[in-house]
Chain A
Amino acid sequence: MAEAAIRAGCRFYFGYPITPQNEVAEYMSEHMPEAGGTFIQAESEIASIYMVLGASVTGARAMTSSSSPGISLKQEGISFLAGQELPAVILNVMRGGPGLGNIAGCQGDYFQATRGGGHGDYKTIVLAPGSVQELVDLTGVAFELADKYRNPVMILADGLIGQMREPVVLPEPVKHLPEKDWALRGAKGRPSRFSRSLILNVRRMEEHNWKLQRKFREIEANEIRFEQYLLEDAKLVVVAFGSAARVAKGAVKRLRKEGLKVGLFRPITLWPFPHKKIRELANECSEFLVYELNAGQMLEDVKLALSGSAEVFFYGRPGGVIPTPMDVAKIIGSRYYQRIKRKAK
């Protein structure tokens, strides 16, 4: 991920140690200077996100990474980045929670990530990789989207993706970075500029917030990503993201071999969430099973999307236990037999 960020033109990494994502900072400390960039181990999560803000306001590509408790601290700065319309990439390798929790694979930060996370009316684009390769690929996407929309982008991975190793193909380094005619680099040959989020005038504040909302609608219209797996004839759709989706895919594969018509829908952008697509799936299929490594968070988005047009069953493991594809296959299989086979009779 770290190398992918450097290849995406990121030249500033500011972080603070927290397991399970220290490998990113360690890699950056060695390789960022080689690429002509800057690495700083900051005094806190809070300081590191504001260093990102400082580098970003000058037009540079900057990022930070952390894990759940650290991300909570960064939320203040993420809100400022969103309010000041500054691009930034934040990697959250989720761990179990609340509080210190544990360092196992968990997806408990879904709400925090997809609802904005900090204070105020804003959204961050949230990308959820399902493999190490996708983490690499989405890193490049994250920097592009951040610059395109001048908005913070969060890559929401979990302890499993954060700690495992898989072979990856790295992208070619980005050659041309976008021009940023809004950056502050000293008022040379132009009037002075400022970047702010404090707008005391209520009408102007409202205007600014509507402008942000228009941008969010545009992102919703253009940037939704998802993966569909064996959905054509599926009688039951499993919805899962990140590493849970990966396990679910293995389960679906097993069940297909046994002749069960099940498929997988995997949102890659958690915000914007593919509501419309899920609603469309309900035209063909009336049974949904949401599987998450939490107590039911994306579940709410799936229910909103379906608005009662299909049955939704939930299976969750909120403590860091990663069920095997076999375990998940059993859950899906028994639901399938209860609902679909029975109906068929």
Chain B
Amino acid sequence: MLIKCFFAGFGGQGVLSMGYFLAYAAMKEGKEVTYLPAYGAEVRGGTAHCTVGISDEEIASPVASEPEYVVAMNQPSAKKFQNAICSGGMMFINSTLVTEPPQRGDIEIVEVPASGIAEEMKNIQATNLVMLGALVKKTGLVSLKSLELSVEDAFSAKKKLIPVNLGALRRGWEYLD
């Protein structure tokens, strides 16, 4: 089974690293994975998106055609990519910033006030991890444990950042039932 997950938002929201953490965790679980980032011409601001493919067999294309899951970190992304999701798929929206959720009846909308939660934690930079925690809880794409290992590996050069990022991940995980 091949699952495609698409992440979109402003550049600087940690959209690319969100995808990378997920792909890395899936790789550690022995899955076939692809990770394809895309950037606008700007380095900050602008749009950023990336696609993660997770499968039990070789993945033909790293490009998302009709992704099962779309994570929209801001309003423009939610609007732009609402029609990309395959029928029956899910859209995760950062409800702090996305005030007008898509109006599609055949997909499930999962609202996570990721920016709000991160702000409460006084760590707005960890917004992406809050969202990722929620995504993984809902979809079961990988285990929380693998995701935690993935974050620990990524921050191995800046160890003091690990606890706060793991905290954010857990807050996201706990936000959804």
Asked whether the complex places CB atoms of A and B closer than 8 A, the reply is: yes
Instruction: Please tell me which one of the listed residues B20, B33, B35, B60 contacts residue A250 in the complex, with CB atoms under 8 A apart.
Output: B60
Do the beta carbons of A249 and B60 come within 8 Å of each other?
Answer: yes
Q: Is A160 an interface residue (CB 8 A)?
A: yes
A324 to B66 alpha-carbon distance, docked (Å): 9
Do the beta carbons of B63 and A324 come within 8 Å of each other?
Answer: yes
Do the beta carbons of B62 and A160 come within 8 Å of each other?
Answer: yes
Per-position binary interface string of chain A over residues 302-326, scored 1 when its CB falls under 8 Å from any chain B CB and 0 otherwise:
0000000000000000000010111
Residues of B within 8 A of A324 (CB): 61, 63, 65
Per-position binary interface string of chain B over residues 26-58, scored 1 when its CB falls under 8 Å from any chain A CB and 0 otherwise:
010000011111100000000000000000001
A167 to B54 alpha-carbon distance, docked (Å): 12
How extensive is the interface on chain B, given as a class? 10 to 19
Q: Is A165 an interface residue (CB 8 A)?
A: yes
Q: Is A253 an interface residue (CB 8 A)?
A: yes
Do the beta carbons of A166 and B35 come within 8 Å of each other?
Answer: yes
Q: Is B18 an interface residue (CB 8 A)?
A: no
Do the beta carbons of B61 and A322 come within 8 Å of each other?
Answer: yes
Q: Which of A165, A246, A249, A253 has the most CB of B within 10 A?
A: A165
Instruction: Please tell me which one of the listed residues A163, A166, A250 contacts residue B61 in the complex, with CB atoms under 8 A apart.
Output: A250
Q: Is B15 an interface residue (CB 8 A)?
A: no
Per-position binary interface string of chain A over residues 247-266, scored 1 when its CB falls under 8 Å from any chain B CB and 0 otherwise:
10111010000000000000
The smallest C-beta distance from A219 to any residue of chain B, in angstroms, reads: 30
A302 to B47 alpha-carbon distance, docked (Å): 40
Residues of A within 8 A of B60 (CB): 246-247, 249-251, 253, 325
Residues of A within 8 A of B78 (CB): none
Residues of B within 8 A of A163 (CB): 36-38
A38 to B34 alpha-carbon distance, docked (Å): 31
State the majority secondary structure of interface residues on B: mixed
Are A166 and B33 also in contact (CB < 8 A) when A247-B60, A251-B60 are? Answer: yes
Closest to A244 in B: B61
Q: Is A164 an interface residue (CB 8 A)?
A: yes
Q: Is B129 an interface residue (CB 8 A)?
A: no
Give residues of chain A (3-62) contacting chain B, Cβ–Cβ below 8 Å.
Answer: none
Residues of B within 8 A of A326 (CB): 65
Chain A: interface residue total (CB-CB under 8 A): 17
Are A247 and B61 also in contact (CB < 8 A) when A165-B20, A165-B23 are? Answer: yes
Instruction: Please tell me which one of the listed residues A164, A250, A253 contacts residue B36 in the complex, with CB atoms under 8 A apart.
Output: A164
The smallest C-beta distance from A106 to any residue of chain B, in angstroms, reads: 14
The smallest C-beta distance from A309 to any residue of chain B, in angstroms, reads: 29
Per-position binary interface string of chain A over residues 147-183, scored 1 when its CB falls under 8 Å from any chain B CB and 0 otherwise:
0000000000000100111110000000000000000
Residues of B within 8 A of A325 (CB): 60-61, 65
Do the beta carbons of B33 and A167 come within 8 Å of each other?
Answer: yes
The smallest C-beta distance from B83 to any residue of chain A, in angstroms, reads: 15
Give residues of chain B (59-107) contacting chain A, Cβ–Cβ below 8 Å.
Answer: 59-63, 65
Residues of B within 8 A of A249 (CB): 58, 60
A327 to B59 alpha-carbon distance, docked (Å): 16
A164 to B38 alpha-carbon distance, docked (Å): 9
Q: Which of A167, A251, A253 has the most CB of B within 10 A?
A: A167
Per-position binary interface string of chain A over residues 322-339, scored 1 when its CB falls under 8 Å from any chain B CB and 0 otherwise:
101111000000000000
Closest to A253 in B: B60
Give residues of chain A (208-244) contacting chain B, Cβ–Cβ below 8 Å.
Answer: none
A238 to B134 alpha-carbon distance, docked (Å): 42
A160 to B61 alpha-carbon distance, docked (Å): 9
18 A/B residue pairs, CB under 8 Å, sorted by A = A160-B63, A163-B38, A164-B36, A164-B37, A165-B23, A165-B35, A165-B37, A166-B33, A167-B27, A167-B33, A246-B60, A246-B61, A247-B61, A251-B60, A253-B60, A322-B61, A326-B65, A327-B65
The 9 closest A-B pairs by CB, nearest first: A250-B60, A324-B65, A165-B35, A164-B36, A167-B27, A247-B61, A325-B60, A164-B62, A322-B63
Known pairs A165-B34, A167-B33, A325-B65 / 8 extra A-B pairs, C-beta < 8 Å: A163-B36, A164-B36, A164-B37, A165-B20, A165-B35, A165-B36, A166-B33, A167-B27
